[in-house]
Structure 1
Amino acid sequence: MGEFFSVACAAVWAMAVVLFRRSGETLPAFELNLFKNLLGVALLIPTVLLTEGLTLPTYSAAEWGLVAVSGVIGIAIADTWYLRALNLMGAARTGVTASLYSPFVILLSILFLGETLAPWQMAGFVLVLAGILLVTWRTNRMDVSLRALRLGVAFGAGSVLLMATGVVMVKPVLEGDDFFWTVLLRLAAGTVAMLALVAATGSAGRVMARYREPQPWRTIVVASFLGTYLSMILWLAGYRLTDASVASVLNETAAAFIVLFSWWVLKEELSPRRIFGVLLTFAGVSVIVSL
Protein backbone atom coordinates (compact mmCIF):
# COMPACT_ATOMS: atom_id res chain seq x y z
CA MET A 1 0.00 0.00 0.00
CA GLY A 2 2.91 2.37 0.58
CA GLU A 3 3.94 2.09 -3.06
CA PHE A 4 0.31 2.58 -4.18
CA PHE A 5 -0.10 5.71 -2.08
CA SER A 6 3.19 7.15 -3.39
CA VAL A 7 2.16 6.73 -7.05
CA ALA A 8 -1.35 8.02 -6.30
CA CYS A 9 0.19 11.08 -4.65
CA ALA A 10 2.23 11.73 -7.80
CA ALA A 11 -0.90 11.57 -9.98
CA VAL A 12 -2.92 13.87 -7.71
CA TRP A 13 -0.06 16.37 -7.38
CA ALA A 14 0.41 16.39 -11.15
CA MET A 15 -3.24 17.30 -11.72
CA ALA A 16 -2.90 20.07 -9.13
CA VAL A 17 0.14 21.49 -10.96
CA VAL A 18 -1.74 21.46 -14.28
CA LEU A 19 -4.67 23.29 -12.67
CA PHE A 20 -2.33 25.85 -11.12
CA ARG A 21 -0.90 26.44 -14.59
CA ARG A 22 -4.40 26.72 -16.07
CA SER A 23 -5.28 29.38 -13.50
CA GLY A 24 -2.63 31.58 -15.09
CA GLU A 25 -0.55 31.76 -11.91
CA THR A 26 -2.12 35.11 -11.14
CA LEU A 27 -1.22 34.87 -7.46
CA PRO A 28 2.44 35.29 -6.43
CA ALA A 29 4.10 32.20 -4.97
CA PHE A 30 3.84 33.26 -1.31
CA GLU A 31 0.16 34.24 -1.47
CA LEU A 32 -0.72 31.08 -3.40
CA ASN A 33 1.13 28.87 -0.92
CA LEU A 34 -0.50 30.62 2.05
CA PHE A 35 -3.98 30.20 0.57
CA LYS A 36 -3.57 26.51 -0.22
CA ASN A 37 -2.13 25.84 3.24
CA LEU A 38 -4.98 27.66 5.00
CA LEU A 39 -7.48 25.63 2.98
CA GLY A 40 -5.58 22.44 3.83
CA VAL A 41 -5.68 23.20 7.56
CA ALA A 42 -9.42 23.98 7.36
CA LEU A 43 -10.06 20.60 5.70
CA LEU A 44 -7.75 18.60 7.96
CA ILE A 45 -9.32 19.79 11.22
CA PRO A 46 -12.65 17.95 10.67
CA THR A 47 -10.71 15.01 9.20
CA VAL A 48 -8.71 14.68 12.43
CA LEU A 49 -11.81 15.05 14.60
CA LEU A 50 -13.61 12.31 12.66
CA THR A 51 -10.68 9.88 12.58
CA GLU A 52 -8.81 10.47 15.83
CA GLY A 53 -11.06 12.55 18.08
CA LEU A 54 -10.05 15.37 20.40
CA THR A 55 -7.22 13.54 22.16
CA LEU A 56 -3.89 15.15 21.34
CA PRO A 57 -1.08 12.91 20.08
CA THR A 58 1.27 11.41 22.64
CA TYR A 59 4.44 12.91 21.21
CA SER A 60 7.59 13.33 23.18
CA ALA A 61 9.05 16.84 23.36
CA ALA A 62 11.53 15.93 20.63
CA GLU A 63 8.75 14.64 18.35
CA TRP A 64 6.75 17.87 18.79
CA GLY A 65 9.84 19.75 17.70
CA LEU A 66 10.42 17.48 14.69
CA VAL A 67 6.85 17.91 13.45
CA ALA A 68 6.99 21.70 13.84
CA VAL A 69 10.39 22.16 12.19
CA SER A 70 9.44 19.74 9.40
CA GLY A 71 6.35 21.84 8.67
CA VAL A 72 8.23 25.14 8.62
CA ILE A 73 11.01 24.03 6.28
CA GLY A 74 9.03 21.52 4.21
CA ILE A 75 5.85 23.57 3.71
CA ALA A 76 6.31 27.25 4.55
CA ILE A 77 9.68 27.60 2.81
CA ALA A 78 9.97 24.67 0.39
CA ASP A 79 6.52 25.01 -1.19
CA THR A 80 6.95 28.76 -1.65
CA TRP A 81 10.32 28.26 -3.32
CA TYR A 82 8.86 25.52 -5.56
CA LEU A 83 6.04 27.78 -6.76
CA ARG A 84 8.56 30.58 -7.28
CA ALA A 85 10.69 28.29 -9.45
CA LEU A 86 7.57 27.31 -11.40
CA ASN A 87 6.85 30.97 -12.14
CA LEU A 88 10.46 31.74 -13.09
CA MET A 89 11.28 28.92 -15.49
CA GLY A 90 8.09 26.97 -16.20
CA ALA A 91 6.91 23.48 -15.35
CA ALA A 92 9.30 21.57 -17.62
CA ARG A 93 12.53 22.93 -16.17
CA THR A 94 11.11 22.84 -12.66
CA GLY A 95 10.32 19.18 -13.25
CA VAL A 96 13.92 18.51 -14.26
CA THR A 97 15.20 20.31 -11.15
CA ALA A 98 12.70 18.47 -8.95
CA SER A 99 14.29 15.21 -10.07
CA LEU A 100 16.91 15.99 -7.42
CA TYR A 101 14.27 15.08 -4.82
CA SER A 102 14.84 11.32 -4.93
CA PRO A 103 18.65 11.54 -4.66
CA PHE A 104 18.28 13.93 -1.72
CA VAL A 105 15.81 11.63 0.09
CA ILE A 106 17.86 8.53 -0.64
CA LEU A 107 21.04 10.15 0.64
CA LEU A 108 19.36 11.48 3.79
CA SER A 109 17.57 8.15 4.39
CA ILE A 110 20.86 6.26 4.16
CA LEU A 111 22.58 8.74 6.47
CA PHE A 112 19.87 9.16 9.11
CA LEU A 113 17.38 6.26 8.80
CA GLY A 114 19.76 3.43 7.97
CA GLU A 115 17.87 2.53 4.78
CA THR A 116 19.41 0.87 1.72
CA LEU A 117 18.33 0.29 -1.88
CA ALA A 118 18.59 -3.16 -3.45
CA PRO A 119 20.30 -3.38 -6.86
CA TRP A 120 16.98 -3.89 -8.66
CA GLN A 121 15.56 -0.83 -6.91
CA MET A 122 18.54 1.21 -8.07
CA ALA A 123 17.89 -0.02 -11.64
CA GLY A 124 14.26 1.10 -11.36
CA PHE A 125 15.40 4.43 -9.96
CA VAL A 126 17.66 5.00 -13.00
CA LEU A 127 14.78 4.15 -15.37
CA VAL A 128 12.45 6.60 -13.58
CA LEU A 129 14.96 9.46 -13.75
CA ALA A 130 15.78 8.71 -17.40
CA GLY A 131 12.10 8.81 -18.28
CA ILE A 132 11.57 12.06 -16.40
CA LEU A 133 14.48 13.72 -18.20
CA LEU A 134 13.01 12.66 -21.55
CA VAL A 135 9.53 14.02 -20.83
CA THR A 136 10.59 17.31 -19.26
CA TRP A 137 13.79 18.41 -21.00
CA ARG A 138 13.49 20.98 -23.77
CA THR A 139 16.13 21.62 -26.40
CA ASN A 140 15.21 25.30 -26.69
CA ARG A 141 16.41 27.06 -23.57
CA MET A 142 16.22 30.65 -24.81
CA ASP A 143 12.58 31.36 -23.86
CA VAL A 144 13.61 32.58 -20.40
CA SER A 145 16.45 34.87 -19.40
CA LEU A 146 19.67 33.49 -17.98
CA ARG A 147 18.99 35.29 -14.68
CA ALA A 148 15.50 33.77 -14.40
CA LEU A 149 16.93 30.35 -15.22
CA ARG A 150 19.63 30.63 -12.55
CA LEU A 151 17.17 31.87 -9.95
CA GLY A 152 14.67 29.19 -10.90
CA VAL A 153 17.23 26.41 -10.56
CA ALA A 154 18.37 27.81 -7.21
CA PHE A 155 14.82 28.03 -5.86
CA GLY A 156 13.88 24.63 -7.31
CA ALA A 157 16.94 22.78 -5.99
CA GLY A 158 16.58 24.48 -2.60
CA SER A 159 12.90 23.57 -2.40
CA VAL A 160 13.41 19.86 -3.06
CA LEU A 161 16.31 19.71 -0.62
CA LEU A 162 14.10 21.20 2.10
CA MET A 163 11.18 18.90 1.16
CA ALA A 164 13.48 15.89 1.41
CA THR A 165 14.89 17.06 4.74
CA GLY A 166 11.41 17.71 6.13
CA VAL A 167 9.96 14.32 5.21
CA VAL A 168 13.00 12.30 6.33
CA MET A 169 12.96 14.23 9.60
CA VAL A 170 9.31 13.42 10.33
CA LYS A 171 9.23 9.79 9.06
CA PRO A 172 9.83 8.22 12.52
CA VAL A 173 6.86 10.20 13.87
CA LEU A 174 4.66 9.22 10.89
CA GLU A 175 5.18 5.56 11.77
CA GLY A 176 3.36 6.09 15.08
CA ASP A 177 -0.36 5.91 15.81
CA ASP A 178 -1.27 9.58 15.31
CA PHE A 179 -1.00 9.84 11.52
CA PHE A 180 -3.67 12.45 10.78
CA TRP A 181 -2.62 14.54 13.79
CA THR A 182 0.92 14.54 12.41
CA VAL A 183 -0.31 15.63 8.97
CA LEU A 184 -2.40 18.45 10.46
CA LEU A 185 0.18 19.72 12.94
CA ARG A 186 2.94 19.67 10.32
CA LEU A 187 0.80 21.73 7.92
CA ALA A 188 -0.36 24.02 10.73
CA ALA A 189 3.25 24.70 11.78
CA GLY A 190 4.14 25.77 8.25
CA THR A 191 1.02 27.93 7.97
CA VAL A 192 1.59 29.64 11.33
CA ALA A 193 5.16 30.42 10.30
CA MET A 194 3.88 32.09 7.13
CA LEU A 195 1.27 34.10 9.05
CA ALA A 196 3.94 35.17 11.54
CA LEU A 197 6.08 36.40 8.65
CA VAL A 198 3.15 38.39 7.27
CA ALA A 199 2.60 39.98 10.67
CA ALA A 200 6.30 40.70 11.24
CA THR A 201 6.74 42.36 7.84
CA GLY A 202 3.47 44.28 7.95
CA SER A 203 2.44 42.83 4.59
CA ALA A 204 -1.10 41.77 5.52
CA GLY A 205 -2.57 44.60 3.45
CA ARG A 206 -0.62 43.55 0.36
CA VAL A 207 -1.64 39.90 0.78
CA MET A 208 -5.32 40.76 1.20
CA ALA A 209 -5.18 43.09 -1.80
CA ARG A 210 -3.96 40.18 -3.91
CA TYR A 211 -6.82 38.02 -2.68
CA ARG A 212 -9.38 40.74 -3.49
CA GLU A 213 -8.19 40.97 -7.09
CA PRO A 214 -10.09 38.95 -9.70
CA GLN A 215 -8.75 35.40 -9.53
CA PRO A 216 -9.85 32.07 -11.04
CA TRP A 217 -10.91 30.96 -7.58
CA ARG A 218 -12.72 27.80 -8.63
CA THR A 219 -9.59 26.45 -10.30
CA ILE A 220 -7.34 27.62 -7.46
CA VAL A 221 -9.57 25.99 -4.82
CA VAL A 222 -9.70 22.66 -6.66
CA ALA A 223 -5.93 22.76 -7.24
CA SER A 224 -5.33 23.63 -3.58
CA PHE A 225 -7.59 20.78 -2.41
CA LEU A 226 -5.73 18.29 -4.60
CA GLY A 227 -2.26 19.74 -4.04
CA THR A 228 -2.40 20.34 -0.30
CA TYR A 229 -5.09 18.20 1.34
CA LEU A 230 -5.37 15.03 -0.75
CA SER A 231 -1.82 14.77 -2.08
CA MET A 232 -0.28 15.49 1.33
CA ILE A 233 -2.27 12.68 2.96
CA LEU A 234 -1.27 10.29 0.16
CA TRP A 235 2.33 11.52 0.25
CA LEU A 236 2.83 11.03 3.97
CA ALA A 237 0.90 7.73 3.92
CA GLY A 238 3.37 6.48 1.34
CA TYR A 239 6.30 7.42 3.57
CA ARG A 240 4.58 5.85 6.57
CA LEU A 241 4.07 2.47 4.86
CA THR A 242 7.24 2.01 2.82
CA ASP A 243 10.89 3.06 2.91
CA ALA A 244 11.46 6.77 2.34
CA SER A 245 13.94 6.00 -0.45
CA VAL A 246 11.36 3.91 -2.36
CA ALA A 247 8.54 6.41 -1.80
CA SER A 248 10.68 9.26 -3.09
CA VAL A 249 11.43 7.45 -6.37
CA LEU A 250 7.74 6.72 -6.93
CA ASN A 251 6.86 10.34 -6.18
CA GLU A 252 9.06 11.32 -9.14
CA THR A 253 6.45 9.87 -11.52
CA ALA A 254 4.56 13.14 -11.06
CA ALA A 255 6.59 14.55 -13.96
CA ALA A 256 5.25 11.86 -16.29
CA PHE A 257 1.69 12.40 -15.04
CA ILE A 258 2.07 16.16 -15.63
CA VAL A 259 2.88 15.48 -19.30
CA LEU A 260 -0.17 13.23 -19.69
CA PHE A 261 -2.53 15.60 -17.87
CA SER A 262 -1.17 18.63 -19.76
CA TRP A 263 -1.99 16.84 -23.02
CA TRP A 264 -5.44 15.89 -21.76
CA VAL A 265 -6.47 19.12 -19.99
CA LEU A 266 -4.34 21.83 -21.62
CA LYS A 267 -4.13 20.23 -25.08
CA GLU A 268 -0.32 20.48 -25.07
CA GLU A 269 1.71 18.54 -27.62
CA LEU A 270 2.54 14.93 -26.77
CA SER A 271 5.64 14.14 -28.83
CA PRO A 272 7.04 10.62 -29.44
CA ARG A 273 9.99 11.48 -27.20
CA ARG A 274 7.67 12.34 -24.33
CA ILE A 275 5.56 9.23 -24.89
CA PHE A 276 8.71 7.10 -24.70
CA GLY A 277 9.77 8.94 -21.56
CA VAL A 278 6.41 8.26 -19.90
CA LEU A 279 6.67 4.57 -20.79
CA LEU A 280 10.23 4.47 -19.43
CA THR A 281 9.14 6.12 -16.19
CA PHE A 282 6.36 3.65 -15.56
CA ALA A 283 8.65 0.77 -16.49
CA GLY A 284 10.95 1.93 -13.70
CA VAL A 285 8.02 2.06 -11.30
CA SER A 286 7.07 -1.49 -12.27
CA VAL A 287 10.59 -2.68 -11.50
CA ILE A 288 10.58 -1.00 -8.10
CA VAL A 289 7.20 -2.28 -6.91
CA SER A 290 7.02 -5.74 -8.48
CA LEU A 291 10.34 -7.46 -7.74
Structure 2
Amino acid sequence: MGIGEALALASAATWAVGVILARQLGSTLPPLALNLLKNGLVLSVLAPIALWLYAGQWPQLPTADLLLVLLSGVLGIAIADTLYFRALNELGAGRMGIIGNLYSPLVLLMGYVWLQERLGVQQWLGFGLVALGVLLVTRPSANGERTSGHTLRGVLIGMTAIALMAVAVVMVKRVLEQQPLLWVTLLRLLGAVVGLAAIAWLPAMRRWVAFSPRNVAWPRLVAAALVGQGLSMLCWLGGYKYTSASVAAVLNESASVFLVVLAAVWLREPLGRRGVVGVALTFGGIACMLLGRTSP
Protein backbone atom coordinates (compact mmCIF):
# COMPACT_ATOMS: atom_id res chain seq x y z
CA MET A 1 0.00 0.00 0.00
CA GLY A 2 1.42 3.35 -1.05
CA ILE A 3 1.06 6.74 0.61
CA GLY A 4 -1.92 7.63 -1.58
CA GLU A 5 -3.86 4.53 -0.55
CA ALA A 6 -2.96 5.02 3.13
CA LEU A 7 -4.13 8.64 3.04
CA ALA A 8 -7.40 7.64 1.35
CA LEU A 9 -8.15 5.14 4.14
CA ALA A 10 -7.16 7.64 6.84
CA SER A 11 -9.52 10.15 5.25
CA ALA A 12 -12.36 7.62 5.43
CA ALA A 13 -11.83 7.01 9.14
CA THR A 14 -11.56 10.68 10.12
CA TRP A 15 -14.51 11.63 7.91
CA ALA A 16 -16.73 9.06 9.61
CA VAL A 17 -15.85 10.44 13.04
CA GLY A 18 -16.62 13.95 11.81
CA VAL A 19 -20.00 12.89 10.42
CA ILE A 20 -21.01 11.32 13.73
CA LEU A 21 -20.01 14.49 15.60
CA ALA A 22 -21.84 16.65 13.05
CA ARG A 23 -24.95 14.50 13.44
CA GLN A 24 -24.93 15.24 17.16
CA LEU A 25 -24.44 18.96 16.49
CA GLY A 26 -27.34 19.08 14.03
CA SER A 27 -29.93 19.58 16.77
CA THR A 28 -28.44 22.93 17.80
CA LEU A 29 -26.84 24.22 14.61
CA PRO A 30 -28.49 24.67 11.17
CA PRO A 31 -26.51 23.00 8.34
CA LEU A 32 -25.33 26.30 6.84
CA ALA A 33 -24.12 27.66 10.18
CA LEU A 34 -22.43 24.36 11.03
CA ASN A 35 -20.60 24.27 7.71
CA LEU A 36 -19.47 27.91 7.98
CA LEU A 37 -18.22 27.52 11.55
CA LYS A 38 -16.38 24.25 10.83
CA ASN A 39 -14.59 25.51 7.75
CA GLY A 40 -13.85 28.92 9.22
CA LEU A 41 -12.21 27.23 12.20
CA VAL A 42 -10.11 24.92 10.02
CA LEU A 43 -9.06 27.83 7.79
CA SER A 44 -7.94 29.85 10.83
CA VAL A 45 -5.77 26.91 11.96
CA LEU A 46 -4.32 25.86 8.58
CA ALA A 47 -3.48 29.37 7.29
CA PRO A 48 -0.80 30.14 9.92
CA ILE A 49 0.62 26.61 9.53
CA ALA A 50 0.93 27.02 5.75
CA LEU A 51 2.50 30.47 6.05
CA TRP A 52 5.02 29.12 8.57
CA LEU A 53 5.91 25.99 6.61
CA TYR A 54 6.35 27.81 3.31
CA ALA A 55 7.88 30.96 4.89
CA GLY A 56 5.25 33.18 3.33
CA GLN A 57 5.98 31.98 -0.22
CA TRP A 58 2.74 31.87 -2.18
CA PRO A 59 2.13 28.99 -4.62
CA GLN A 60 2.78 29.70 -8.29
CA LEU A 61 -0.63 28.79 -9.68
CA PRO A 62 -1.78 29.94 -13.11
CA THR A 63 -4.93 32.04 -12.87
CA ALA A 64 -7.05 29.31 -14.44
CA ASP A 65 -5.85 26.75 -11.88
CA LEU A 66 -6.38 29.17 -9.00
CA LEU A 67 -9.97 29.82 -10.07
CA LEU A 68 -10.52 26.08 -10.52
CA VAL A 69 -9.36 25.32 -6.96
CA LEU A 70 -11.50 28.12 -5.50
CA LEU A 71 -14.54 26.90 -7.48
CA SER A 72 -13.87 23.38 -6.24
CA GLY A 73 -14.11 24.69 -2.69
CA VAL A 74 -17.40 26.45 -3.36
CA LEU A 75 -18.96 23.37 -5.00
CA GLY A 76 -17.42 20.61 -2.92
CA ILE A 77 -17.48 22.25 0.52
CA ALA A 78 -19.72 25.31 0.64
CA ILE A 79 -22.62 23.76 -1.26
CA ALA A 80 -22.04 19.99 -1.06
CA ASP A 81 -21.24 19.82 2.66
CA THR A 82 -24.21 22.04 3.54
CA LEU A 83 -26.51 19.74 1.58
CA TYR A 84 -24.82 16.73 3.17
CA PHE A 85 -25.49 18.00 6.69
CA ARG A 86 -29.09 18.76 5.72
CA ALA A 87 -29.59 15.20 4.46
CA LEU A 88 -27.77 13.85 7.51
CA ASN A 89 -30.34 15.48 9.79
CA GLU A 90 -33.18 13.82 7.86
CA LEU A 91 -31.73 10.38 7.15
CA GLY A 92 -29.35 9.69 10.02
CA ALA A 93 -25.68 8.73 9.81
CA GLY A 94 -26.22 5.07 8.88
CA ARG A 95 -28.44 5.64 5.84
CA MET A 96 -26.42 8.65 4.72
CA GLY A 97 -23.36 6.42 4.83
CA ILE A 98 -25.02 4.06 2.35
CA ILE A 99 -25.99 6.90 0.00
CA GLY A 100 -22.37 8.03 0.17
CA ASN A 101 -21.41 4.83 -1.63
CA LEU A 102 -22.55 6.50 -4.85
CA TYR A 103 -19.38 8.58 -4.61
CA SER A 104 -16.87 6.11 -6.03
CA PRO A 105 -18.92 5.11 -9.10
CA LEU A 106 -19.38 8.80 -9.90
CA VAL A 107 -15.65 9.49 -9.56
CA LEU A 108 -14.89 6.46 -11.72
CA LEU A 109 -17.18 7.74 -14.46
CA MET A 110 -15.81 11.28 -14.28
CA GLY A 111 -12.26 9.97 -14.20
CA TYR A 112 -13.03 8.04 -17.38
CA VAL A 113 -14.38 11.14 -19.13
CA TRP A 114 -12.07 13.88 -17.80
CA LEU A 115 -8.89 12.08 -16.72
CA GLN A 116 -8.80 9.19 -19.21
CA GLU A 117 -8.78 6.61 -16.39
CA ARG A 118 -10.24 3.50 -17.99
CA LEU A 119 -12.93 1.29 -16.47
CA GLY A 120 -12.81 -2.48 -16.71
CA VAL A 121 -15.66 -5.00 -16.75
CA GLN A 122 -15.35 -5.62 -13.00
CA GLN A 123 -15.56 -1.89 -12.30
CA TRP A 124 -18.77 -1.61 -14.31
CA LEU A 125 -20.14 -4.56 -12.33
CA GLY A 126 -19.13 -2.79 -9.14
CA PHE A 127 -20.95 0.34 -10.26
CA GLY A 128 -24.15 -1.65 -10.71
CA LEU A 129 -23.86 -3.36 -7.32
CA VAL A 130 -23.29 -0.08 -5.49
CA ALA A 131 -26.23 1.56 -7.23
CA LEU A 132 -28.45 -1.43 -6.38
CA GLY A 133 -27.37 -1.32 -2.74
CA VAL A 134 -28.19 2.38 -2.46
CA LEU A 135 -31.60 1.90 -4.07
CA LEU A 136 -32.40 -0.99 -1.74
CA VAL A 137 -31.59 0.96 1.41
CA THR A 138 -33.33 4.18 0.36
CA ARG A 139 -36.49 2.59 -1.09
CA PRO A 140 -39.59 2.98 1.13
CA SER A 141 -40.81 -0.15 2.89
CA ALA A 142 -43.49 -2.29 1.28
CA ASN A 143 -46.22 -1.11 3.65
CA GLY A 144 -45.56 2.49 2.68
CA GLU A 145 -44.32 3.52 6.11
CA ARG A 146 -41.33 5.75 6.47
CA THR A 147 -39.43 6.87 9.49
CA SER A 148 -39.63 10.58 10.17
CA GLY A 149 -36.14 11.24 8.83
CA HIS A 150 -36.22 8.80 5.93
CA THR A 151 -37.78 10.91 3.20
CA LEU A 152 -37.40 11.17 -0.55
CA ARG A 153 -36.32 14.77 -0.11
CA GLY A 154 -33.47 13.73 2.17
CA VAL A 155 -32.36 11.06 -0.31
CA LEU A 156 -32.32 13.51 -3.23
CA ILE A 157 -30.46 16.12 -1.20
CA GLY A 158 -27.92 13.51 -0.11
CA MET A 159 -27.35 12.26 -3.66
CA THR A 160 -26.88 15.83 -4.91
CA ALA A 161 -24.30 16.45 -2.20
CA ILE A 162 -22.34 13.32 -3.12
CA ALA A 163 -22.41 14.21 -6.83
CA LEU A 164 -21.03 17.70 -6.14
CA MET A 165 -18.26 16.26 -3.97
CA ALA A 166 -17.23 13.94 -6.81
CA VAL A 167 -17.21 16.76 -9.38
CA ALA A 168 -15.24 19.04 -7.05
CA VAL A 169 -12.39 16.60 -6.44
CA VAL A 170 -12.04 15.35 -10.02
CA MET A 171 -11.82 18.92 -11.34
CA VAL A 172 -8.70 19.62 -9.22
CA LYS A 173 -6.96 16.26 -9.68
CA ARG A 174 -4.39 17.61 -12.18
CA VAL A 175 -3.72 20.70 -10.07
CA LEU A 176 -3.16 18.50 -7.02
CA GLU A 177 -0.54 16.48 -8.87
CA GLN A 178 1.50 19.62 -9.61
CA GLN A 179 1.03 21.80 -6.50
CA PRO A 180 1.76 21.47 -2.74
CA LEU A 181 -1.01 19.61 -0.94
CA LEU A 182 -1.36 22.08 1.93
CA TRP A 183 -1.72 25.10 -0.37
CA VAL A 184 -4.41 23.44 -2.47
CA THR A 185 -6.27 22.44 0.70
CA LEU A 186 -6.02 25.99 2.04
CA LEU A 187 -7.22 27.57 -1.21
CA ARG A 188 -10.20 25.20 -1.39
CA LEU A 189 -11.10 26.16 2.16
CA LEU A 190 -10.80 29.84 1.30
CA GLY A 191 -13.18 29.40 -1.64
CA ALA A 192 -15.56 27.49 0.62
CA VAL A 193 -15.59 30.07 3.43
CA VAL A 194 -16.06 32.98 1.03
CA GLY A 195 -18.85 31.09 -0.73
CA LEU A 196 -20.55 30.19 2.55
CA ALA A 197 -20.30 33.77 3.83
CA ALA A 198 -21.84 35.05 0.60
CA ILE A 199 -24.71 32.55 0.85
CA ALA A 200 -25.28 33.37 4.53
CA TRP A 201 -25.35 37.10 3.73
CA LEU A 202 -28.36 36.69 1.44
CA PRO A 203 -31.55 37.91 3.20
CA ALA A 204 -33.42 34.72 2.29
CA MET A 205 -30.72 32.56 3.89
CA ARG A 206 -30.14 34.40 7.15
CA ARG A 207 -32.65 32.35 9.06
CA TRP A 208 -30.62 29.26 8.17
CA VAL A 209 -27.58 30.56 10.04
CA ALA A 210 -29.34 31.78 13.19
CA PHE A 211 -28.48 29.82 16.35
CA SER A 212 -28.00 30.28 20.08
CA PRO A 213 -24.30 30.07 21.05
CA ARG A 214 -25.26 28.87 24.53
CA ASN A 215 -26.81 25.70 23.09
CA VAL A 216 -23.77 24.69 21.03
CA ALA A 217 -21.40 21.99 22.26
CA TRP A 218 -18.26 23.94 21.35
CA PRO A 219 -15.69 21.25 22.24
CA ARG A 220 -17.56 18.81 19.99
CA LEU A 221 -17.67 21.42 17.22
CA VAL A 222 -13.91 21.97 17.45
CA ALA A 223 -13.31 18.20 17.30
CA ALA A 224 -15.66 17.82 14.31
CA ALA A 225 -13.88 20.66 12.52
CA LEU A 226 -10.27 19.67 13.15
CA VAL A 227 -10.69 15.90 12.77
CA GLY A 228 -13.67 15.43 10.47
CA GLN A 229 -13.01 18.45 8.27
CA GLY A 230 -9.38 19.59 8.46
CA LEU A 231 -7.48 16.33 8.93
CA SER A 232 -9.92 14.40 6.76
CA MET A 233 -9.64 16.91 3.91
CA LEU A 234 -5.85 16.85 3.97
CA CYS A 235 -5.83 13.05 3.82
CA TRP A 236 -8.60 13.03 1.22
CA LEU A 237 -6.81 15.38 -1.18
CA GLY A 238 -3.52 13.61 -0.44
CA GLY A 239 -5.06 10.36 -1.60
CA TYR A 240 -6.01 11.95 -4.92
CA LYS A 241 -2.59 13.55 -5.24
CA TYR A 242 -0.59 10.35 -4.80
CA THR A 243 -2.78 7.76 -6.51
CA SER A 244 -5.40 7.62 -9.25
CA ALA A 245 -8.83 9.15 -8.68
CA SER A 246 -10.51 5.77 -9.16
CA VAL A 247 -8.37 4.01 -6.52
CA ALA A 248 -8.73 6.86 -4.02
CA ALA A 249 -12.50 6.96 -4.51
CA VAL A 250 -12.88 3.23 -3.94
CA LEU A 251 -10.82 3.31 -0.74
CA ASN A 252 -12.77 6.35 0.46
CA GLU A 253 -15.82 4.10 0.46
CA SER A 254 -14.51 2.38 3.57
CA ALA A 255 -15.88 5.47 5.36
CA SER A 256 -19.31 3.88 5.25
CA VAL A 257 -17.97 0.87 7.21
CA PHE A 258 -16.76 3.19 9.95
CA LEU A 259 -19.92 5.27 9.66
CA VAL A 260 -22.42 2.42 9.94
CA VAL A 261 -20.55 0.88 12.86
CA LEU A 262 -20.23 4.22 14.67
CA ALA A 263 -23.87 5.07 14.01
CA ALA A 264 -24.99 1.76 15.49
CA VAL A 265 -22.64 1.85 18.49
CA TRP A 266 -22.46 5.58 19.21
CA LEU A 267 -25.86 6.90 18.10
CA ARG A 268 -27.89 3.66 18.51
CA GLU A 269 -29.29 4.00 14.99
CA PRO A 270 -30.90 0.73 13.79
CA LEU A 271 -29.88 -0.40 10.33
CA GLY A 272 -32.28 -3.31 9.79
CA ARG A 273 -32.07 -6.28 7.44
CA ARG A 274 -32.53 -4.19 4.30
CA GLY A 275 -29.66 -1.96 5.41
CA VAL A 276 -27.43 -4.97 6.02
CA VAL A 277 -28.16 -6.31 2.52
CA GLY A 278 -27.57 -2.85 1.07
CA VAL A 279 -24.21 -2.62 2.82
CA ALA A 280 -23.26 -6.08 1.55
CA LEU A 281 -24.17 -5.16 -2.03
CA THR A 282 -22.33 -1.87 -1.96
CA PHE A 283 -19.18 -3.39 -0.53
CA GLY A 284 -19.37 -6.24 -2.97
CA GLY A 285 -19.38 -3.55 -5.63
CA ILE A 286 -16.41 -1.82 -4.02
CA ALA A 287 -14.49 -5.11 -4.03
CA CYS A 288 -15.20 -5.51 -7.74
CA MET A 289 -13.94 -2.00 -8.42
CA LEU A 290 -10.77 -2.52 -6.42
CA LEU A 291 -9.99 -5.89 -8.03
CA GLY A 292 -10.68 -4.48 -11.47
CA ARG A 293 -8.82 -1.20 -11.12
CA THR A 294 -6.10 -0.14 -13.51
CA SER A 295 -2.95 1.83 -12.89
CA PRO A 296 -3.12 5.64 -12.83
Measured against the shorter chain, the TM-score band is: 0.7 to 0.9
Q: Distance in 1 between matches of 2:16 and 2:221?
A: 14
Q: Is the 8 A contact 2:97 2:259 kept in 1?
A: no
Partner amino acid, structure 2, of 1:256: V
**Structure 1 residue 252, shift from structure 2 partner:** 1.4
Q: Distance in 1 between matches of 2:172 and 2:159?
A: 20
**Residue 31 in structure 1 maps to residue 71 in structure 2:** no
**Structure 1 residue 196, shift from structure 2 partner:** 1.8
Q: Distance in 2 between matches of 1:37 and 1:194?
A: 9
Which residue of the partner structure matches residue 82 of structure 1? 84
Q: Distance in 2 between matches of 1:278 and 1:40?
A: 35
Residues 182/276 of structure 1: CA separation in 2 closer, same or farther (3 Å cut) = closer
**Structure 1 residue 290, shift from structure 2 partner:** 11
Q: Is the 8 A contact 1:6 1:250 kept in 2?
A: yes
Residues 131/43 of structure 1: CA separation in 2 closer, same or farther (3 Å cut) = farther
User: What SS does the aligned partner of 1:100 have?
Assistant: helix
Q: 2:146 aligns with which of 142, 153, 159?
A: 142
Partner amino acid, structure 2, of 1:223: A
User: What SS does the aligned partner of 1:175 have?
Assistant: helix
Deviations 1:193-212 (A, max 9, x none): 111222343866873x5152
CA RMSD of superposed structures (Å): 3.3
User: What SS does the aligned partner of 2:21 have?
Assistant: helix
List aligned pairs for 1:47-66, cutoff 5 A: 47-66=49-68
Q: Distance in 2 between matches of 1:289 and 1:51?
A: 39
Which residue of the partner structure matches residue 222 of structure 2? 221
**Structure 1 residue 144, shift from structure 2 partner:** 2.6
**Structure 1 residue 126, shift from structure 2 partner:** 6.9
Q: Percent identity?
A: 39
User: What SS does the aligned partner of 2:32 have?
Assistant: helix
TM-score, scaled to structure 1: 0.84
Unaligned runs of 5+ in 2: none
Q: Is the 8 A contact 1:40 1:225 kept in 2?
A: yes
Q: Distance in 2 between matches of 1:276 and 1:93?
A: 10
Aligned residues: 287
Partner amino acid, structure 2, of 1:281: F
Q: Distance in 2 between matches of 1:286 and 1:185?
A: 35
Which residue of the partner structure matches residue 260 of structure 2? 259
**Structure 1 residue 21, shift from structure 2 partner:** 2.4
Residues 217/23 of structure 1: CA separation in 2 closer, same or farther (3 Å cut) = same
List aligned pairs for 1:100-119, cutoff 5 A: 100-119=102-121
Partner amino acid, structure 1, of 2:256: A
Q: Is the 8 A contact 2:140 2:146 kept in 1?
A: no
Q: 1:199 aligns with which of 193, 201, 216?
A: 201
Residues 131/188 of structure 1: CA separation in 2 closer, same or farther (3 Å cut) = same
Q: Distance in 1 between matches of 2:133 and 2:27?
A: 24
Unaligned runs of 5+ in 1: none
